[in-house]
Structure 1
Amino acid sequence: MEIGPVTTSAPPNDAPVILWFRRDLRLSDNPALSRAMSSGRPVVPVYIHDEGSQVRRSGAASLWWLDRSLRALAADLTDRGAPLILRRGNAEAKLRGLIAETGATTVVMNRLFEPDARERDAALAHDLKVEGIDCQGFNGTLLATPGTVLNGSGRPYRVFTPFLKALLATTTEPTLSPAPNRIVCPQGLASERLADWVLSPTQPDWSTGFEGVPGEAGAVAAFTAFLDEGLADYCDGRDIPARSATSRLSAHLHFGEISPWRVVIGARRAAHVGTVSADEVSKFVAELGWRDFSAHLLHAFPYMAERAFRPEFGTLPWRSDPGGLKAWQTGQTGFPIVDAGMRQLWTTGWMHNRVRMIVASFLVKDLLIDWREGEAWFRDTLVDADLASNVQNWQWVAGCGADAAPYFRIFNPVTQGQKFDADGRYVRRWVPELQAVPDRWLQAPWTAPDEVLLQAGIELGRDYPFPVVDHAAARLRALDALKTVSRPGS
């Protein structure tokens, strides 16, 4: 069952509306908040840290971001006269408790579309409706609600390009709503202390190098900086990891600190006034469309969260290689561009998109390790870890997704590094032990003459590892394994 407005008897004029924040941690362009405010009744803003249901939990890095985003949201609400009520435990039980405390007859929320959360919310909405509670859900996180962009046969798209065309043709820009100046909230409601949730690491604190400013203000600042500095060179610059040409909005979008439509409208406006070209904006909007595509796919095919979209890949003989997996996780593979990406991830909680593809290809093709191992690691270490995007992107690289890269596409980590980090700025930042290796040898230091390594102060096997695999041999091994996959019609 989908969540939607239901008809109940008119509530008392003073019965408050519960506004259940989830991944919509903003006050502007928030459909659920707008509906709550339009009721003219007091509003109870609540965030429930769900620890008692089957909904998949966030990874450690995402919790760091969540902690700071909730602090920012609480401050923004306080400025408008309303506290953010915090509750921890089983989401249904905590929500019911708040309904009983406040006498609320209406609950509004922006919907979650991942399979587990969707099932939980649908069951809860049904039960509340039976009890006379009006439960309303809205789309506050995507350009289009999953299930609304369908092909001519009424089925979900499985290929991105026609999906994007249909998405752009069937959606219209909404009217953006400003944050309310004041929110009236009942007084005296109990709230837990965010500090007691210990969402951020302490002993040890491995988050000291994390980047980004969580919260709605941080999202707006990041988007403004991108419009000023990155969008004009987005088509080419987005592939160069040493440049600041990507939007860095992924975590802000995941936590709903900025709406995707505000981003699209802002980018289109920049093209309209001539500060950037229409081509740059089209490419950027397409990337936002890919984010929607991932969510729509997972909504239509929920099993993708656990296994390959293409069932024939269930026969692929993945390798068990704990040593190789550990080398990949810690940035010690001996391939500089791979190691730079994995170290950037561990240090900052984020990795450049081009490098994400390179490191993912290395894991599933060079090491022939199950894509789910990589998805799990990214889920725990990315501040922007998003189930739909994470699963879809890993399956794209592995060749087992809906609109996947051809199975025989295997990135060469050396040539990828040479092409996209030609001057070595990215590798030298994240793999400083190779600082003095000349550009010619930087992406494949094991090929450098002994005298070059000596002059650079590098002894392979001591200062930097030898490659954990021979790429040429690993490529052939991967192709042989992939050829064993039984394909439809074969």
Structure 2
Amino acid sequence: MSLTTKDKITIFWHRRDLRLHDNTGLYYALKSGNPVVPLFIFDRNILDDLDNKKDSRVSFIHEAVTGMREELKKAGADILVEYGFPTEIWKSLSEKYQIAEVITNTDYEPYATERDQEIYRILKKEGIPFKAYKDHVIFEKKEVLSLQNTPYTVFTPYSRAWREKCNDFYLSSYPTRKYFKNLHKWKGPSIPSLKEMGFEKTDQTFPSSKVETELLENYGEQRNFPGIKGTSHLGIHLRFGTVSIREMARKGNENSSTWLNELIWRDFYHQILWHFPHVGKGKAFRAAYDTIKWRNNQGEFKKWCEGKTGYPLVDAGMRELNETGFMHNRVRMVTASFLAKHLLIDWRWGEAYFAEKLLDYDLAANNGGWQWAAGSGTDAAPYFRIFNPTAQAEKFDPQGVYIKKWVPEIGTDQYPEPIVDHKIARERCLLVYKEALNQDEK
């Protein structure tokens, strides 16, 4: 049966929640009293900006949407998949079908917020309610505030308040499958292929969405060592919502307070992006840092991108990123600090490079991490604290396991000399930062 113009339906719009289980908005759609039609839009506003037509993230999304479709078919239902510009698609859908309401989950990024406001206006003209629910984080917007009713800008007190507020209510799953009978029974057209959208399938192997209890139990001791598998690699699944954040937080609660802390960092950066949207639009959280006189040497940036700086841990991290779309978190901090402080290259250059390469790229976390490393962000390391990449390698990769894997020519004539002397770079950084910050105080 196809979808007809006579059917009165609720449309549930999937975005960063590519799963059917424990999905907040989908749950409320299924309880709306109308047959539910899931929808996904391959958004050209995003896709047209991707230069790499073998972008692994597009393949990942396509696989996830295809997987949801297979699951829906078992319930006699289907998903409507569109390719184009959301405003045009919604104008068309609102004219074509009898839509009782549109339900989705909130996306907190600046583009998404502006897009949703526009869609809200389009639907309002047609008398169609547009509702958004919280699904991507445990706490959003103004849910965790200080005693002064202001947003936290330092992580430790935020995390304390987060833990005090969090209970079983916030971590409970939404039993969507129980209401699958309320899905509209129909057979949809085929999903647009990657080729039809101008993309190619990647040969990338994606990490599992399962996280082992043993890994979580050892997470606190092992997470800083890139040479061992001590982290969950769940970033891409959290980014695109193929796993439930509530389920993951429960696992953290049960098995690893340190791992749960990483999920709290994720919430923290999302509420920073919400309260201080300028950070998502190319501005430093601390305005004084926008006056730093960056060197921005193109040749040095290229060497950093390619993993040819002569600093083995930095190079290993960049090569891992370029080849796999992943970089260990400890190494992310070291490579980011090196670019901003050793080379005095604007952190935004590095942020953009990570945005292009990371499978788990998430604006809130990527921006938060880069500004932390550069000293310009919330809860940032003081500007005078500069990671020594050699000392970091000795401490966190003492046997050189990680470095040897990604920099096999280490110790040979093929490996370059350091691009800059650590001591000279440190002194130069301190001078440039101090000048900018002192100037701002005048």
Do structure 1's residue 477 and structure 2's residue 393 form an aligned pair? no
Task: Name the TM-score, length of structure 1 as normaliser.
Answer: 0.82
> What residue identity is the alignment partner of 1:282?
S
Query: Equivalent residues in 2 for 1:251-290 (5 A)?
Result: 251-270=236-255, 281-290=256-265
Query: Equivalent residues in 2 for 1:178-217 (5 A)?
Result: 178-180=175-177, 182=180, 184-185=183-184, 187=186, 189-190=188-189, 192-198=191-197, 201=200, 207-208=202-203, 210-213=204-207
SS of the aligned residue for 2:417 comes to coil
CA-to-partner distance for each residue in 1:379-427, whole Å, 9 max, x for gaps? 0000000000011110000000121111011111111101100011101
CA-to-partner distance for each residue in 1:4-25, whole Å, 9 max, x for gaps? xxxxxxxx99511101000000
CA RMSD of aligned residues (A): 2.4
> What residue identity is the alignment partner of 1:116?
Y
> What residue identity is the alignment partner of 2:27?
S
Do structure 1's residue 33 and structure 2's residue 33 form an aligned pair? no
For residues 169 and 414 of structure 1, do their structure 2 counterparts lie closer, same or farther at Cα, with a shift above 3 Å needed?
same
What is the match of residue 402 of structure 2?
426
Query: Equivalent residues in 2 for 1:43-442 (5 A)?
Result: 43-52=36-45, 60-173=55-168, 174=170, 175-180=172-177, 182=180, 184-185=183-184, 187=186, 189-190=188-189, 192-198=191-197, 201=200, 207-208=202-203, 210-213=204-207, 218-219=208-209, 221=210, 223=211, 225=212, 227-228=213-214, 230-270=215-255, 281-305=256-280, 306-434=282-410
Please say if residues 16 and 103 of structure 1, whose CA atoms lie closer than 8 Å, have aligned partners that are also in contact.
yes
For residues 96 and 352 of structure 1, do their structure 2 counterparts lie closer, same or farther at Cα, with a shift above 3 Å needed?
same
SS of the aligned residue for 1:113 comes to coil
SS of the aligned residue for 1:99 comes to helix
Please say if residues 58 and 380 of structure 1, whose CA atoms lie closer than 8 Å, have aligned partners that are also in contact.
no
Q: Among all aligned residue pairs of Structure 1 and Structure 2, give the percentage whose two residues are the same amino acid.
A: 37
Please say if residues 90 and 119 of structure 2, whose CA atoms lie closer than 8 Å, have aligned partners that are also in contact.
no
Distance in 2, matches of 1:324 and 1:151, equals: 42
For residues 197 and 27 of structure 1, do their structure 2 counterparts lie closer, same or farther at Cα, with a shift above 3 Å needed?
same
Shift of the alpha carbon at 1:189?
Answer: 4.6
Query: Equivalent residues in 2 for 1:2-17 (5 A)?
Result: 15-17=8-10
Please say if residues 55 and 116 of structure 1, whose CA atoms lie closer than 8 Å, have aligned partners that are also in contact.
no
Shift of the alpha carbon at 1:212?
Answer: 2.3
SS of the aligned residue for 1:485 comes to helix
For residues 245 and 197 of structure 1, do their structure 2 counterparts lie closer, same or farther at Cα, with a shift above 3 Å needed?
farther
Shift of the alpha carbon at 1:473?
Answer: 0.8
Please say if residues 72 and 78 of structure 2, whose CA atoms lie closer than 8 Å, have aligned partners that are also in contact.
yes
For residues 371 and 133 of structure 1, do their structure 2 counterparts lie closer, same or farther at Cα, with a shift above 3 Å needed?
same
Task: Name the TM-score, length of structure 2 as normaliser.
Answer: 0.91
Q: Which range moved further: 149-158 or 301-310?
A: 149-158
For residues 159 and 331 of structure 1, do their structure 2 counterparts lie closer, same or farther at Cα, with a shift above 3 Å needed?
same
- Note the residue ranges of structure 2 that are not aligned, 5 or more in a row: none
For residues 242 and 323 of structure 1, do their structure 2 counterparts lie closer, same or farther at Cα, with a shift above 3 Å needed?
same
Shift of the alpha carbon at 1:468?
Answer: 1.1
Shift of the alpha carbon at 1:197?
Answer: 4.6
For residues 110 and 197 of structure 1, do their structure 2 counterparts lie closer, same or farther at Cα, with a shift above 3 Å needed?
farther
SS of the aligned residue for 1:194 comes to coil
Shift of the alpha carbon at 1:170?
Answer: 2.3
CA-to-partner distance for each residue in 1:264-290, whole Å, 9 max, x for gaps? 1123234xxxxxxxxxx2211111110
- Note the residue ranges of structure 1 that are not aligned, 5 or more in a row: 1-11, 271-280, 435-444, 446-457
